[in-house]
Amino acid sequence: MKNLLTTVFALSVACVTSLAASMAEAQTPNAGASGNPGVPAVPGATGPGPAKAVASPKSLEAKTAMCFGCHNIKGYQSSFPEVYKVPMIAGQNAKYIASALNAYKTGDRKHPTMRGIAETLSEQDIADIAAFYENLGKDERQAAPEKQHEPDSQVAGLIQKANCASCHGANFSKPIDPSYPKIAGQHSDYLFQALRAYKTENNPAVGRNNGIMGAIAKQFSNAELKAISQYLGSLDGEVATIPEPRFHHR
Ligand code: HEC
Ligand code: HEC
């Protein structure tokens, strides 16, 4: 198992490295005629900067290739800065995915690996990737039930205190705004890590700077956050890990 994980990690690192290199190349302005075969090179016509072409299936494949080594392997764990399962992002709201990627990019969300990755993505890349993951595995997923199973009385009290459902939806999968996350059925250990991160300050590798969730998470002890996370993770949700996606050329 350990060997497998090591291999997978090495693989994903290799993916990130080679992809970052190829993306850098693709984003170089006026990369030359060898670049975009479909786009005729008209010297001087568009000026510097990457062409605003609609993403071709091929480039979407390239953009997402580096994510697969972590987000599309069931049960894959992150080992730095802490050990927890990599979040499920297939079926998540596109607007929230984009917002999270931008937060890693600006450093509002601290996570050295995700920051390094997000920094290689342009606005267009982020929009394309977010739309891709929102739809990924659509046919294999089910809508979350309208009504979830009830928590025990301790967790019920905690969830009421901060009125989590008022933003994340009664079933925790219908947030009131598409830039808010679906949290039902997400990995409990990741939810716990995320909730603690909203409370964490002055740590170079961990922390989330978010006005809304910061104020909420700070009302709870870590033990309470853990109990909430276990309940939310036990629910039926819409987020999933979809292994080895195949690209359908549309
Ligand atoms: C080396 C493993 C790894 C790779 C590669 C990776 N991620 Fe992540 N990703 C993580 C981890 C770990 C987290 C959780 C970070 C945290 O605690 O905030 C994360 C968080 C995220 C989140 C936030 C999810 C949420 O629920 O808030 C999004 C969105 C995301 N990644 C998208 C991507 C995309 C898109 C790619 C490819 C361009 C990618 N990731 C590549 C490990 C990875
Ligand atoms: C006023 C609206 C609001 C309320 C109330 C609220 N949330 Fe949130 N929640 C948000 C927003 C907005 C985000 C996205 C923050 C970000 O971008 O990091 C979020 C993010 C989260 C995340 C991170 C998910 C991920 O994938 O990383 C978790 C976990 C979470 N909320 C749990 C809760 C819990 C548990 C409660 C109640 C104790 C709660 N929220 C109450 C608005 C709210």
Least confident of 23-27, 120-124, 216-220: 23-27
Q: How far is CA 106 from CA 109, 115, 179, 229, in A?
A: 8, 8, 17, 26
Q: How far is CA 144 from CA 71, 140, 154, 239, in A?
A: 21, 13, 23, 9
Nearest residue by C-alpha to atom 39 in ligand 1: 67
Ligand nearest to the CA of 122: 1
Give the distance (Å) from ligand 1 centre to CA of residue 37. Answer: 31
- 67-114 pLDDT, tens digit per residue, is 999 999 999 998 888 899 999 999 999 999 999 999 999 999 999 999
Nearest residue by C-alpha to atom 2 in ligand 2: 167
Give the distance (Å) from ligand 2 centre to CA of residue 153. Answer: 21
Answer yes or no: are the C-beta atoms of 179 and 99 closer than 8 Å: yes
pLDDT of residue 153: 97
pLDDT of residue 230: 98
**What is the pTM (predicted TM-score) of this model?**
0.83
Least confident of 137-146, 164-173, 202-211: 137-146
Confidence of residue 246 (pLDDT cuts 50, 70, 90): low
Answer yes or no: are the C-beta atoms of 7 and 69 closer than 8 Å: no
Confidence of residue 244 (pLDDT cuts 50, 70, 90): confident
| Segments making up each domain of the chain, as ranges | 2-24+59-233
- For ligand 1, what atom is nearest to the CA of residue 125? 38
- For ligand 2, what atom is nearest to the CA of residue 191? 29
Nearest residue by C-alpha to atom 5 in ligand 1: 67
pLDDT of residue 120: 95
